[in-house]
Amino acid sequence: MQSSLPWVLLSLIIGCLVGGIVISLVLRSKATQAHTVLVDAQRQIAELDSDLAKRQKMLQLEAREETQREVARLREVIEREAVERRAELKDAESRLRERENGLERRIKSIEGREKGVSAKEVEAQRKLDDAADIVLKQNEALEQVAKLSTTEAKELLLERVEHEARAAMSHVAHRIEEEAREGAEEKARKIIAMAIQRCAVDQTSETAVSVVPIPSEDVKGRIIGREGRNIRTFEQLSGTDLIIDDTPEAVVVSCFDPVRRETARIALQNLVNDGRIHPARIEEMLGRAKTEVQAKMREAADRACAESNVRLPKPILEVFGRLLYRTSYGQNILKHSVEMAKLAASIAAELGADVQVAKRAALLHDIGKALDHDHEGTHVDLGVELMKRHRESDAVIRAAGEHHMDVTQMTSLESVIVQVADAISSARPGARRENVEIYIKRLENLEKIANSFGGVEKSYAIQAGREVRIVVKPEQVDDLGSLRLARDVAQRIQEEMTYPGEIKVTVIRETRASEIAH
């Protein structure tokens, strides 16, 4: 056991030496390989540097060659353009030289003509001088023969010629004037007679009252209402007077404004037929009646346009329909306008004027009367403004706007035709009634004065013009303002109008409050 121990130790030592030698050899081999790799890497880097230098030189050579080629190309282009420009300049120079030569030739030609003209002027002046000498010699010879001066001979000749011409012209002018007067009167009578024969339009005289039939006398009590509240509400909202008297089974609606009167009549008739008469129902029925009246006016306007064969734009048509309830001295203006359109068309056709212009102007000549209740100005100015606003032709506007002018102020034949048709339609017996128009004008003036004050919502002239009721806007006029307004309106009426008796001014200020209970 002890004898084997040294051998073991020796074996270990030998193993360690052998292992160290092996490890040393391995490490040396690795170092050799690493050195080899490093050498290869350095060699590759050197090769890459060499290739990069070669590539750089090649690129520089290629860039230099490309630059030289581009320079050569640009030089060639510039030289070619220079050659072309020199050729163009040479052509322009040649043309300028030719133009200068042409101008020189023209200048020489003009100078030659001027010399010729100067020579002709000298020759003409010489001939004029010779002619003047000849005339002078002839005048001297005539004076010696007639023993008259030039002035005396000229005056004698002019006096004789003037006397003979005046006599002849006077005779011819008198004959032409007589023939024209006879022919014009005869032709005018024929044209007017023919136009009247071809036109037949119904006419009705408008009144200031409408009668509403009622089924029994008991209805009158319901119309009046408790303490008169129904009749007061109806009159206040409609702007009319209800006349309830001993007339059996009838109630009279009185108002100078035909539109308000017709609206009130329809509303009252519907209330009577319905049987329920109270303030809320009255307000509802008046609203429905107003819509119905507007529909009637539109229908009447369409019918009038169809009868006259005239088309109107919608805004003008709506205003034109209001003429159904407008009158002039008792004559219905809508029917009057239709009659005028037919007369004007017939007269224009006979005189060779523009039939469409004359007919259209005649139909629209009084359209301003549909607006004069609500706007300031004459009906002519209002009508012209309306037609201009809706782009009617200038010829129609002139003819319609000049129908009240003197004939000498009119600018077209159509204007004269419209005025003649207006006179024919208005002047025939029974067409108009003067006293009704004066009465209505007075009531219109009362309402116009009341509406001219601020804060007035609407006003109504009632009781045949003996009372004016004014409804004010409560948010603009207080109680003291109502008193002041009544006094101012009364003062204004007293200053501007002439009327019999006295006129009562009533200002109504009403405030309503409503709420919905859920």
pLDDT in tens, 133-156: 877 776 676 666 555 566 766 676
Residue whose C-alpha is closest to residue 267's, from 298, 243, 235, 244: 235
pTM of the model: 0.47
> Structure tokens of 353?
């004027």
278 exposure class (CB count in 10 Å sphere: 0-12, 13-18, 19+): middle
Is pLDDT at 34 greater than 70 in this prediction? yes
Q: Please tell me whether residue 390 adopts helix, strand or coil conformation.
A: coil
Strand partners, 468: 461, 505
Burial of 64 (0-12, 13-18, 19+ CB in 10 A): exposed
Count other C-beta atoms under 10 Å from residue 190's C-beta.
11
Q: Coil, helix or strand for 343?
A: helix
User: What integer best gives the mean pLDDT of the chain?
Assistant: 80
CA distances from 43 to 31, 34, 51, 131 (A): 18, 14, 12, 129
Structure tokens at 105: 């030739």
Q: Which CATH class is domain 434-518?
A: alpha beta
pLDDT of residue 488: 92
Tokens of 134: 């000849």
Whether residue 393 has pLDDT greater than 80? yes
Q: What is the pLDDT of residue 371?
A: 76
Residue 405, pLDDT > 60, answer yes
Residue 429 has pLDDT above 60, yes or no: no
Decide: helix, strand or coil at residue 97: helix
State the distance between the two ends of the chain, measured CA to CA, in whole angstroms.
125
Half-sphere exposure at residue 170, Cβ-oriented, CA atoms within 13 angstroms: 6
Q: Residue holding tokens 């506007």? A: 397
Would you say residue 75 has pLDDT above 80?
yes
- What share of the chain has pLDDT > 70, as a percent? 81
Query: Rounded distance, CA 513 to CA 518, Å?
Result: 17
> Domain segments of the chain: what residues?
148-198, 209-433, 434-518
More confident residue, 379 or 499: 379
Strand order in the sheet with 241-243: 209-213, 250-254, 241-243
Q: What is the pLDDT of residue 258?
A: 79
For residue 487, pLDDT beyond 80 = yes
- Measuring CA to CA, which residue among 344, 329, 452 is closest to residue 396? 344
Of 266, 255, 257, the residue nearest 296 (C-alpha): 266
Q: Which of 262, 271, 382 is nearest to 324 (CA)?
A: 262
Q: Name the least confident of 147-156, 226-235, 364-373, 448-457.
A: 147-156
pLDDT mean over 178-205? 54
What's the pLDDT score for residue 30? 79
pLDDT at 500: 65
- Cα–Cα nearest to 342, from 200, 203, 205, 204: 200
What is the average pLDDT across 471-485? 89
| pLDDT tier for residue 330 given thresholds of 50, 70 and 90 | low
Res 191: pLDDT: 55
Q: Which CATH class is domain 209-433?
A: mainly alpha
User: Average pLDDT in the 276-290 region?
Assistant: 90
CA dist 204 and 300 (Å) reads 15
Q: Which residues contact 368 (CB under 8 A, 6 or more apart)?
A: 377, 378, 379, 380, 381, 382, 383, 384, 386
Contacts of 432 (CB under 8 A, 6+ apart): 328, 329, 330, 331, 426
- Which helix (H) or strand (E) segment holds residue 19: the answer is helix 5-146
**Residue 392: how many other CB atoms lie within 10 Å:** 20
